[in-house]
Structure 1
Amino acid sequence: MSNKPVIASYRVPKSKVIEEYEIKKSRFICWIAPATSREEAIQLVDQAKAEYPDARHHCWAYILGNPDNAASAAANDDGEPSGTAGKPILNVLQHKNIGDVVAVVIRYFGGIKLGAGGLVRAYGTATQQASELLTLIEQVPHQDVKIECDYADEPTLRRWIESQKGILLASEYSDKASLNVSLPVDCVDDLYTLTAGWKGTEIDSE
């Protein structure tokens, strides 16, 4: 057995959504989209700045990885008073328990100041309304595994990999069949069970 802890799946956005919220003549346009790296997240921020270059603020937040134990999370107020924009955006994403996600809220100032509390509510509301439009899908973490087995066992192994929605990354053939695969992490122990009686089978799941 691999004795590795099971890594839980989590929900991620399927695609980008856009929603607009207006209060006291200020417009808040919220984009929420998938992002699996800081580079992808910042790319969306840059796209928002390019599409709305005359907006007063482009505030944002992102969560990378499983939201219960995020690999990275960040927020930015982009000139709004500290804690009144990026943090409320991030709070909504955290409350929704969404991972691999970035939200950008573009603000057009309407001439009426909202105050710190008003800004917190406005950025939070814009993000909340956009989040309700999201279609969420389950993200299942994968683990790369190398398997060496006899040729006679390879067809069974391939069928099992396909049934578990694994991905064949590479294969090599010499005295044995060698398969590099990406498996859902909660299937790795099952692989050891499947191959327990196979002679000459070696598995590297480190």
Structure 2
Amino acid sequence: MTAPYITIAQSEYTYEQVIKKSRFIVSLMRVTDKAAAKAFIERISQANRKANHNVWTYLLGDRDEIQRYSDDGEPAGTAGVPMLEVLKNNGIHDVVAVQTRYFGGIKLGAGGLIRAYAGTMASAVATVGLVQRIERRQLTLTIEYAQYEPLKYWLESQAYSILDTEYATGVTLTVPVNTELVADFVQAVTDHLQGKVTVEVGAVNLFEIPYDKAVTAKTSSLK
């Protein structure tokens, strides 16, 4: 079975927390090539050039074929590697991360640094959320306003995602459906709404749907 393709839910995101008076700021971005990753690292590092450290990591490819990291002056193995391992251990692809540290005067020690960098990274990923990229057939459902709430409730109860909703003379919803299940889906939704729905079967596309997963901060140094 092919592993799911998971990435962050937003194209760019920033998360910050304070640990023992040090500010840890994680900047995340989706990327698909090394040039974009390096440009993002440079941009964030320049914006935070007065920081003590701008630690970074990125991984690229469906199988993480490219993996890079830098501790940027932190003790070796306490910063860049933990960040990379958080991405890998949570199955996240095509992301670059820069974690900026403004030192607050209290030394954390090697173990404390690993926990701080890995923990802040995991919190950033959990906060931005994850999506799974899947191949599905696009179905467009057009209904009257009176059918909207019943349809929305039914779709959610059946674990179908609503990717787009348009309001005009009626309501139009875009729903991705497994190609093998399209006929059953159309019959079920037609029965549920007693025929008061128009279904248009579209092309097969790649869709991103919310991916509910507990994010772990574990690394090889923190089991």
Instruction: State the Cα distance separating 1:8 from its structure 2 match.
Output: 5.3
Structure 2 residue aligned with 1:99: 93
Structure 2 residue aligned with 1:128: 122
- Aligned partners of 1:98 and 1:108: how far apart in 2? 27
Q: 1:17·1:33 contact (CA, 8 Å) conserved in 2?
A: yes
Residue 20 in 1 paired to residue 16 in 2? yes
For structure 1, the 5+ residue unaligned runs are 1-5, 142-161, 167-206
The share of aligned pairs that are identical, in percent, is 40
Residue 60 in 1 paired to residue 56 in 2? yes
> In structure 2, do the counterparts of structure 1 residues 139 and 65 end up closer, same or farther at CA, with 3 Å as the change threshold?
farther
Give 3-state SS (helix, strand or coil) of 1:62's partner: strand
Structure 1 residue aligned with 2:33: 37
Instruction: State the Cα distance separating 1:42 from its structure 2 match.
Output: 1.4
State how 1:37-186 maps to structure 2 within 5 Å. Answer: 37-66=33-62, 69-139=63-133, 163-165=203-205
- Aligned partners of 2:7 and 2:134: how far apart in 1? 10
Aligned AA for 2:90? K
Q: 1:15·1:135 contact (CA, 8 Å) conserved in 2?
A: no
Aligned residues: 139
> Rg larger in 1 or in 2?
1
Instruction: State the Cα distance separating 1:51 from its structure 2 match.
Output: 1.3
Does 100-109 or 12-21 show the bigger shift? 12-21
- Give deviations 1:72-103, integer Å, cap 9, x for gaps: 11111001110000011011111211100111
Question: Normalised by the size of structure 2, how large is the TM-score?
Answer: 0.58
Structure 2 residue aligned with 1:149: none
Aligned AA for 1:54? K
Instruction: State the Cα distance separating 1:9 from its structure 2 match.
Output: 4.6
Aligned AA for 1:163? A
Question: Normalised by the size of structure 1, how large is the TM-score?
Answer: 0.62
Structure 2 residue aligned with 1:10: 5
Q: 1:12·1:136 contact (CA, 8 Å) conserved in 2?
A: yes
Aligned AA for 1:164? V
Instruction: State the Cα distance separating 1:112 from its structure 2 match.
Output: 1.4
- Give deviations 1:16-49, integer Å, cap 9, x for gaps: 1211121111111011110111111111111111
Aligned AA for 2:37? A
